[in-house]
Structure 1
Amino acid sequence: MTANEDQEMELEALRSIYEGDECFKEISPGSFQFRIGDLEDSKAFILDVTWPEMYPETAPQISLDAFFNNRISAETKQLILSKLEEQVEANLGTAMMYTLFEWAKENQEALMENHKPTVTAVTLTSSNEATTGSMAKKKEKKEQLTKAQKRRIINRTDNKGELPRGWNWVDVIKVSAVYIFSTSKHLVSLSL
Structure 2
Amino acid sequence: MTANENQEMELEALRSIYEGDECFKEISSVSFQFRIGDLVDTKAFIPDLTWPETYPETAPQISLDAFFNNRISAETKQLILLKLEEQVEVNLGTAMMYTLFEWAKENQEALMENHKPVVTAVTSSSEQMSGSSTGKKKEKKEQLTKSQKRRIISRTDNKGELPRGWNWVDVIKHLSRTGGKDEE
Q: Do Structure 1 and Structure 2 share a fold, with TM-score over 0.5? A: yes
- Between the aligned partners of 2:157 and 2:126, the Cα distance in structure 1 is 41
Distance (whole Å) between structure 2 residues aligned to residue 52 and residue 43 of structure 1: 29
The residue number in structure 2 matching 1:76 is: 76
Q: Could you tell me which runs of 5 or more consecutive residues in structure 2 were left unpaired when the two chains were aligned.
A: 130-152, 160-184
Unaligned runs of 5+ in 1: 122-130, 138-158, 166-192
Identity of counterpart residues, as a percentage? Answer: 83
CA shift at 1:163, angstroms? Answer: 5.1
Aligned amino acid, residue 41 of structure 1: D
Other-structure match for 2:8: 8
Map 1:29-48; keep pairs closer than 5 Å.
Answer: 29-48=29-48
1:60-119 CA-to-partner distances (Å, cap 9, x unmatched) read 000101111111111111111101011000000000000000000000000000001112
Deviations 1:42-66 (A, max 9, x none): 1000010000010000000001011
Report the Cα distance in structure 2 between the residues aligned to 1:109 and 1:94, rounded to whole angstroms.
26
Other structure's SS at 1:45 match: coil
Task: State TM-score, norm by structure 2.
Answer: 0.69
Amino acid at match of 1:106: E
Over the aligned positions, Cα root-mean-square deviation in angstroms equals 2.2
- Greater relative contact order: 1 or 2 (C-alpha under 8 angstroms, separation 6 or more)? 2
* 1:148-175 Cα deviation digits (max 9, x unpaired): xxxxxxxxxxx9434577xxxxxxxxxx
User: 1:74 is matched by which residue type in structure 2?
Assistant: A
CA distance in structure 1 between the partners assigned to 2:87 and 2:37 by the alignment: 19
Q: Distance in 1 between matches of 2:63 and 2:18?
A: 20
Higher gyration radius (CA): 1
